[in-house]
Structure 1
Amino acid sequence: MNQPDPVAAAMIRNAAGSLAGYAASDLLDSQPDWREALAANAFTTWHGVLRNCAEELAAALAAGRPQFFTAYAAWMQSLLTARGLPAGALASAVTCLAKVLAAELPAGASAGAVRICEEAVRGLEHESPTLPRFLPTDTPHGRLAASYLLALLEGDRSRASRLILDALPDTSLPELYLQVLLPAQQEVGRMWQADEINVAEEHFATSTTKMVLAQLRSRAALHAQNGKTLLAAAVTGNQHDVGLQMVADVFEMAGWRVIQLGPDMPIPDLVQAVESYQPDLLALSVSLHPQLVTLAETIRAVRSGPHGAGVKILVGGRALADAPDLARQLGADGYATDLNTAVAVGQALVGLHSPGSTPAGQAASPQTTV
């Protein structure tokens, strides 16, 4: 792990749009065929790609985790290849970005950023340009997820619902959440990223999955109320809340009073909600590495309030999957990898023993990052 470089990170984050613009212009000047292939959209397309790269690079510097950017570059290369761009396009783009950083930033701020870009470019030479798939069709759960996904893609909300509800007697709710609905939703995301479905189809699939979650929740067996309250929210900028809803549901099944605030929660409103509802546990979701800065700001703001100063904070989401130790560094009390650990860690944080039949199975120490 490298030392965090918050100064360079802030410089790049604040100037991401301009830096991306310079890099996109340099890239298209060096590759005129790409400009012709994308016509009027060429600059806009590459400016967007490079702005995202700059923001991811800033996040890697802020956390002292170069692997954040390396992993992002590998994913972006797969995405661009799936959308018909040349396999080496991203390596050329990141190289242009590195040159712009060296030219536009002070030497002390640019050196680490340029080095991370160079490492990412070297890594791209060994990456397979394919997006990972999320549906294993060699298991009963995988086959059910595939059937559910097909119903979504065919626009058949009723059939999608029936498939899941009919499986309920023989399959636990946590299994349906983790091994059927979540993989299907992840595959929907992959298909959208690969330009295999459009925004309308993605929205329909997500809204249907939220409907099915509500149907499952109405059929769930609930533990007796334990007197504890969970407040759950996705941080500002995080538009993804299907996973967060699943977490809220399993807490409610375990006997908690749950207040789910949803996606993209403004920091001042969240602080006010913490002071108003006075939860025992605050669960925060982060999907992308650039949102880790927002997570730290959110936690600091929450801690400034009388009740927020002592509330236990549990965090989760894809942004921390490859660096769970960052959760405590950013001010959280615990991290949960998935639904199976969320309730156990949350209950341990507030001093409760986990009910034997909850999805988590057993309690984890609040001092343990899972």
Structure 2
Amino acid sequence: MSDQYSQISKIFEDKLPQLSEAILVRQSVAPTELTEKFNDIGRLRALQDIRAQLSFLSEAVATKSPSLFTDYVSWVKVLLSGRGIPVTDLAKNLSFTKDVLREMLPVDVGDIVSEYLDLSINGLDESPADPPTYFTPDAPLSDLARQYLDTLLQGERHAAARLILDAVQSGVSVRDIYLFVFQRSQYEIGRLWQMNRINVAQEHYCSAATQMIMAQLYPFIFSGPSKNRRLVATCVSGELHEIGIRMVSDFLEMDGWDTYYLGASTPAANVVQALRDNNAQVLAVSATMTFHVRIVEDLIRVVRAAKDVGNVKIMVGGYPFNIEKDLWRQVGADAYATDALDAVDVANRLVTGE
């Protein structure tokens, strides 16, 4: 990553507590429906939300990737629209943020973060307030995917599991179940939560149930011939969104790889030890939250410097890498995969050198 922009981001981050306080004060003197929302949730929660926004902005600056912040703001627009907050309020609050940062940061730092904020404000009218469903009629297994998610939202995980097991036993491939039912359902769950149509408890229930059902499919996954290729799959420290990397691990198992799945929030030292213990050829690293991108970079730096595993090939993936297509190069990875299906091709190419 750019040293200059990383230094700018560091200056920014060192003042996050003071900046958050000042932004909250600025918002309170020019009330909007959004600032009233902050009053409803309480001062501490409001400060947490402001700091989260600033963390997204800081990460975008550090990686010199304005799209990471503009995409985040577009996501917030949908979130607030689903809760009755007009987009004009979001624009005002972003303007308040820009004013505070210009006042409290060195001129060169304030100029750069202001550019990122201006891009996000100017793009608000173009981003949709009502993103379309992921259950398009022409998608493979669309009826099954919709029925599966509806069943989960009714709290019937056992019935949802039966739907999947019946489909597999009738000849639907596990790979298609993962791609067209599980993956699309997870995207749709995120969309519904973002639009305030389901709550956090429902979102967590559906995700946990899907992981349970994935485990029930393992007899169909661990049945093919081995390629004698080994991979460690992990989320970075602090990252709790693990279904995507679990799908990557399972897809590679279906392709004949031996995988060692570490799951969510794994410290770098433990990742290195897992690479050693399993004599891995490839490390797959996932990050869903934008403010974890530099943790990915730190993990890669630790792996590269570690004895006996420095030559392991590293593949990254997750939401920020799909938004900023060249980000994988900035963090020092060898490749990036868009999803589990793509990860199979990428991992095999990394081993063969093709």
TM-score bracket for the superposition, by shorter chain length: over 0.9
- What pairs with 1:239-318 in structure 2 (closer than 5 Å)? 239-318=240-319
**2:113 alignment partner in structure 1:** 113
Q: Is the 8 A contact 1:3 1:64 kept in 2?
A: no
* Residues 158-167 or 215-224, more deviating: 215-224
Counterparts in 2 of 1:84 and 1:223: CA distance versus 1, 3 Å: same
Could you tell me how far 1:119 is from its partner in structure 2?
1.6
Residues of 1 paired with 2:79 and 2:31: CA distance?
A: 20
Q: Provide the secondary structure at the position in 1 that maps to 2:60.
A: helix
* CA RMSD, 1 decimal: 2.1
Q: Map 1:5-44 onto structure 2 (within 5 A).
A: 5-31=5-31, 34-36=34-36, 39-44=39-44
Taking the aligned partners of 1:338 and 1:52, their CA distance within structure 2 comes to 26
Report the equivalent of 1:93. Answer: 93
Aligned in 2, Cα 1:15/1:174: closer, same or farther, shift over 3 Å? farther
Number of aligned residue pairs: 352
- In the aligned structure 2, how far is the partner of 1:4 from the partner of 1:69? 18
Kindly provide the amino acid, as one letter, of the partner of residue 270 in structure 1. Answer: V
Unaligned runs of 5+ in 2: none
Would the aligned equivalents of 1:4 and 1:63 in 2 still touch at CA under 8 Å?
A: no
Shift of 1:153: 0.7
Q: Distance in 2 between matches of 1:18 and 1:27?
A: 14
**Superposition TM-score, scaled by structure 1 size:** 0.89
Q: TM-score when scaled to structure 2?
A: 0.92
Q: Does 1:208 align with 2:203?
A: no
- Cα distance, 1:154 vs structure 2: 0.8
Counterpart Cα distance in 2 of 1:46 and 1:283: 35
Q: d(CA) in 2 for partners of 1:38 and 1:6?
A: 31
Alpha-carbon distance in 2 for matches of 1:308, 1:97: 44
- Contact 2:38/2:46 (CA < 8 Å) preserved in 1? no
More RCO (CA 8 Å, sep 6+): 2
Counterpart Cα distance in 2 of 1:291 and 1:93 = 24
Residue 191 of structure 1, CA deviation: 2.3
What 5-or-longer segments of structure 1 have no aligned partner?
353-364, 366-370
Asked whether the equivalents of residues 157 and 208 of structure 1 are also in contact (C-alpha less than 8 Å), the reply is yes
**Structure 1 residue 148 displacement after superposition:** 0.3
Partner of residue 188, structure 1: 189
**Corresponding residue SS for 1:337:** coil
Moved more, 263-272 or 129-138: 129-138
Deviation at residue 75 of structure 1 after TM alignment: 1.1
Give aligned-pair identity as a percent.
Answer: 32
Q: For structure 1, which segment, 184-193 or 240-249, has the greater mean C-alpha deviation from structure 2 after superposition?
A: 184-193
Could you report, residue by residue, the CA deviation over 1:123-150 in whole angstroms, capped at 9, with x for unpaired residues?
A: 1133332244322244451221110001
> How much does 1:245 deviate?
1.0
Distance 1:134 1:80, change over 3 A: same
1:220 aligns with 2:215: no
Assess if the C-alpha contact under 8 Å between 2:221 and 2:250 holds in 1. no
Amino acid at match of 2:218: R
Which amino acid in 2 is paired with 1:149? L
For the 8 Å contact 2:5–2:62, the answer to whether it is kept is yes
Relative distance call for 1:83 and 1:44 in structure 2 (3 A) is farther
Partner SS for 2:234: strand
Partner of residue 66, structure 2: 66
* 113-122 or 29-38: bigger deviation: 29-38
2:51 is matched with which residue?
51
Question: In structure 2, do the counterparts of structure 1 residues 33 and 311 end up closer, same or farther at CA, with 3 Å as the change threshold?
Answer: closer
